[in-house]
Structure 1
Amino acid sequence: MAANAEKNNNKPAKQGGKGGQPLVIAKTLAEEQRLKLERLMRNPDKLAPIPDRQKEWTPRAPPEFVRDVMGSSAGAGSGEFHVYRHLRRREYQRQDFLDKMSAKQKKEQAYLDKVEQNKLDAAERTAKRRKKREKLKQKKLMAKKAKQDSKADEEAESSSSHSEEEKEQEEEKEADDDAEVPSFIMGKK
């Protein structure tokens, strides 16, 4: 029997956790964080648990039917006042939450309205500028047509009465006129 007791005493103490890891109790938050990181780094292939985002706090819905209607008036028992106080606090929290939510919704709606208005204004400015560009193109086309018509008339008159030297001078003028004119000079002929 003594031999059995010696065998039990010689056995190593049972270690806590899986894989023969000694049980370590963290005493500080830094130590707790270090232990968590060590546990994650033991198996780097395993995905790290990422907690879900906490849901926004919402108050409890008001009761549909209140059975014991009470107030803080005299005649109520001493224990009833605390119940009334908690109910009142909960109702004030609920009303405050509703006020904050309505203010938040108003801000979001105002923002969406402003974005929509900005889009409309931008579209209006773009349309106005497009119209202006089209007008300038039309003016250039009309000026070019008028210039070609006047040249054609001059050529018809000059071909019958002018000599070869005059024709060469006119061709040089046409080459100068055909050179690209800056867009800010509109009325030049």
Structure 2
Amino acid sequence: MSEIIEDADSESKVRAVKTAYDLQRLKLEKLFKQPDKPVFIPDRPKERKMPKPPEFIRNTWGSSAGAGSGDFHVYRGVRRREYARQKFLDEKEAKTTKDDEYQRKLVENANAAEERTAKKRAKRLKKKKSKQKKKSQHVESESESEHSDDETEAACSDAKKICEETNEELQAQKDTHTNLEKTPVEIKPS
């Protein structure tokens, strides 16, 4: 991994590549030095295709008696191709299973996230409603206190009127009382 790369522009600079990060950084710098040059981006590797099914061999041979010396190599090639085909089918099935499992897991995670989101949303709305309810109760209590202030003022004004009337009555009684004192009272002997 430790390569030494020399730049053509600066011969005095010698950069030692110690990590993959340094190597990637140097490659990118090299690309950015010539921005008009097209960059080769490789295509994805193609998936392997499944081999053809084996030809049916009517004469089965192997190490059985009567087989010629060249037949074993033919048998071995057929066997190798069949094992490779079975391995390919097994790998394809495993890949399909993993893909299905991954998709199922994605759906489960999305559902779980949606449930959590819905639960938190409900909690937020409940909190918001309770906050609005408290605020409306507070406003009502303030308006009630304003009404009670109005009622208190009305009650005070009524009380003042009553007090004034009472004071007038008392004053009238006092006046009549003083008038009575001024007038001589005749005492009749009985």
- Give the Cα–Cα distance (whole angstroms) in 2 for the partners of residues 51 and 155 of structure 1: 79
Q: Does 1:85 align with 2:108?
A: no
Matches within 5 A, 1:27-66: 55-63=46-54, 66=56
Q: Tell me the CA shift for residue 56 of structure 1.
A: 3.1
Matches within 5 A, 1:113-152: 113-152=104-143
- Give the Cα–Cα distance (whole angstroms) in 1 for the partners of residues 153 and 107 of structure 2: 67
- Give the Cα–Cα distance (whole angstroms) in 1 for the partners of residues 112 and 41 of structure 2: 44
Q: Which runs of 4+ in 1 moved over 4 A?
A: 47-54
- Residue number among 141, 149, 154 corresponding to 1:158 in the alignment: 149
**What is residue 103 of structure 2 aligned with on the other side?**
112
SS in 2 for 1:78: coil
Amino acid at match of 1:60: P
Give 5+ residue unaligned stretches, structure 2: 1-37, 155-190
Decide whether aligned partners of structure 1 residues 144 and 104 sit closer, same or farther in structure 2, where only a CA change above 3 A counts. same
Give the percent of matched residue pairs that are identical in Structure 1 and Structure 2.
Answer: 44
- Give the Cα–Cα distance (whole angstroms) in 2 for the partners of residues 54 and 137 of structure 1: 54
Give TM-score scaled by structure 1 length: 0.53
Matches within 5 A, 1:95-106: 95-106=86-97
Matches within 5 A, 1:170-189: none
| Matched positions, count | 118
Q: Does 1:68 align with 2:58?
A: yes
Decide whether aligned partners of structure 1 residues 138 and 74 sit closer, same or farther in structure 2, where only a CA change above 3 A counts. same
- Give the Cα–Cα distance (whole angstroms) in 2 for the partners of residues 132 and 70 of structure 1: 73
SS in 1 for 2:128: helix
Give TM-score scaled by structure 2 length: 0.52
Decide whether aligned partners of structure 1 residues 142 and 56 sit closer, same or farther in structure 2, where only a CA change above 3 A counts. closer
Structure with the greater alpha carbon radius of gyration: 2
Give 5+ residue unaligned stretches, structure 1: 1-46, 164-189
Q: Is the 8 A contact 1:59 1:94 kept in 2?
A: yes
Q: Tell me the CA shift for residue 74 of structure 1.
A: 1.4
Amino acid at match of 1:70: T
| Superposition RMSD in Å | 2.9
Amino acid at match of 1:57: R
Decide whether aligned partners of structure 1 residues 89 and 152 sit closer, same or farther in structure 2, where only a CA change above 3 A counts. same
